[in-house]
Amino acid sequence: MTEPQAASASSLEGIERLPPENLAEIFMFCLPSGRWASYWPNTENAPWVLAQVCSHWRAVALSTSRLWRIIEVHLTAFLAEEIDINDGSSSAGDSSDEIDDCVSTGSPSLHSLGSCGSSSARAPSPHTMMHLISLFLERSGSSPFTLIVSWEHGKPHELTPMLSRVVLMLTRESHRWEEVSYRLPLSLLVTLPSVKGRLQSLRTLDLCLGFTGDEGAVIDNFEDAPLLQSVDLLMWPSPTGIQVAVKFPSAQLTSYTCLFQRLSDVFTTLHEMPSLVLCDLYYKPLPDNDDVLTDTPPLRLAHLRNISLDHSSNDSDGSYLAHLTDRLTLPRLEHLKVNCANKLFPHLTALVARSRCQLRTFSVRGMQFNSAVFDFFACVPTVTELTLGSIILTVNEAAWLTRPTPPISCPLPALRVLNMDYTQLRAAEFVQMIESRVDDARRAGGACLEELRVTNIVLDRNTLAQLLSLRRPGLRVTVVDQYDRDLAPYEKTEDEEEAEEPVCTVPTSPHP
C-alpha cells in the first residue's frame, strides 16, 4: 500500500469508528444550504454522494431519513415527448437498469427529478422518474419533507398527464409536506387533486403561478393548514386585473410575500394578518391605473418587524404606494427596505414618526438625495445598518453623510455597517468620506463604523487598493465585484480570532 493510500485508509478508519447516529448528524451538514436547498441539486452533492463512498457510509445514508427530505420534480418538454397523451403511459421500458445506470454514472438528473442537470446528461424517462419519486418517499420514511414542483414554460397542456401522475403519488403523502414550492401555470394548479384538511405538517408555502386565463378561480387547498406560517405568492398579473383567489389561514401567518395590482386587495389581505412579523410587497398596478384607497380605516400591525416595499415602472414616482404607507402604523418596525421613488420619502418619515418605532436597518435603491431624504435620515437615529443601492452619490452628498455642516447634527449616529451596492462614487472621495466618519466618531467617543461592504462594482487595481486601504483594527472592509467575487477576503486579526468562541467545524466534503 502506498503512503497516500495508507493515510487515506487511516482517515477512513477513524470515520468508520464513529457511531452511526454521530455520522448521520455530520451528514446533515453536507446537505445543500438555503431555503429550498437548491433548485438544481445533483448526484455530486449529498445525499447521493454519501452513499457512494463505502458500505458503512452507504448504510448510514440510506437509513437516515432526514437526508432524503427534499424532493424536486422539474417537468420538461422531454417528458412530454415521452408520454402518450391519450393514456399517460410512458414509451420507456423497465426503469431498473436506467436507475442503476444513473447511480453508477452520477447523473445530475437523479435528485432534480426530470431535469437535465447538464447538456451531456441523459434525463430519466417518465417511468424512471416515477420510480425515483417512490424511492425518495420510501427513504424519507415518516419524516416531513420539502416538495418542489416546477415546469418548463411553453406548453403546459402537454405536461398535464405527467403532472397528474406525479402529484397523485405525492399527495398521498401530503400529511408529511413541510415546505412546498409550486412553480406552475394556473391551469395546472387548479386541476391538482385536493389536499384540503391533509396538511398537518405544512409550514412554508411558495407559489409562483403563471397566468393562463383563469380569472376568478378559487384555490382553497391550503386553507386548512394548522402550522402554516410563511406564504410567498407570486402570481403574474392578469391583463384584466381579475386575480385568482388563493385562500390561506391568514390570521396565523407570520411571513407574507406577494405581488399585487390593487391597493385595496393587499390592504384587505393585510387586515386579515394581525400576526405578521415579515412582509414583502411588490406593487405592479394596471396601466392607466387610478388606484387609490378611499374610506379605508388605518391598519396597525403590532408585531411587524420587517417590511419591504417595491413597485414597477407604472408607479414610477411612488405616489400610489404612498397611499398604503399613509394608512399603516408599525410600532415594532426594525427593518425597512424600499426600491424607492423620491416622492415616497415624506410618507416614510411620517410612518416612522407615527409608529414611534426604533428602526435598526434601512435599505434603499434608486433614490436621489434631496431635503426629504435628509429629513428621513434625521428621524431614524437608531439605524445601525444602511444599504445604498443603484445610487449616484455626489461629493456633497457623501460629505453630508459624514460631516454635515452646523447646525445639522451627525446623520445616523449609531451607524455601524454601511453597504454600497452598485453605487457610483469616485474611489478617492469615497475613501475620504469613510475616513472622516471613522475619525470623527472616535474623537467624539460615539458609535464607530465597524463594517463596510462594497458590492457589485466595476473597479480597477488602483480603486481596489484605495478601498482596501481603509482596513484597520475594528473596521472590516469587503469588496465584491460584478461577478460576485470577493476580491480580497477579509483576514481576521489575532485579537479577533482569540475573541471568538471555538466552534465545531464539519468538512463540506464527505470524502475522508
Identify the pLDDT of residue 243.
Answer: 67
- Euclidean distance between the first and final Cα of the chain, in Å? 17
Identify the pLDDT of residue 224.
Answer: 93
Identify the pLDDT of residue 511.
Answer: 38
Identify the pLDDT of residue 153.
Answer: 57
Identify the pLDDT of residue 292.
Answer: 66
Q: Which burial class, exposed, middle or buried, applies to 108 when counting CB atoms under 10 A from its CB (0-12, 13-18, 19+)?
A: buried
Identify the pLDDT of residue 199.
Answer: 94
Which pTM was predicted? Answer: 0.79
Identify the pLDDT of residue 9.
Answer: 56
User: Which 3-state string (H, E, C) describes 317-359?
Assistant: CCHHHHHHHCCEECCCCCEEEEECCHHHHHHHHHHHHHHCCCC
The C-alpha atoms of residue 368 and residue 174 are separated, in whole angstroms, by 49
479, 468 contact by CB (below 8 A):
yes
pLDDT digits (tens, 9 = 90+) for 394-416: 767 766 666 555 555 667 888 88
Residues shown for the chain: 512
Which are the contacts of 495, defined by CB distance < 8 A and separation ≥ 6? 473
Closest C-alpha among 29, 105, 21, 112 to residue 63: 21
Identify the pLDDT of residue 204.
Answer: 96
Identify the pLDDT of residue 337.
Answer: 95
For the chain (512 residues), the mean pLDDT of every run of 10, in chain order, is 56 68 88 54 70 86 88 67 41 44 40 41 64 87 89 62 78 93 79 85 90 70 94 76 79 94 85 96 74 77 96 67 91 93 88 97 87 89 91 71 59 85 70 74 69 78 79 84 70 53 38 36
Identify the pLDDT of residue 415.
Answer: 87
DSSP annotation of 251 reads G
What phi and psi values does residue 105 have, to the nearest 5 degrees? Answer: -95, -10
Q: Which amino acid is at 288?
A: D
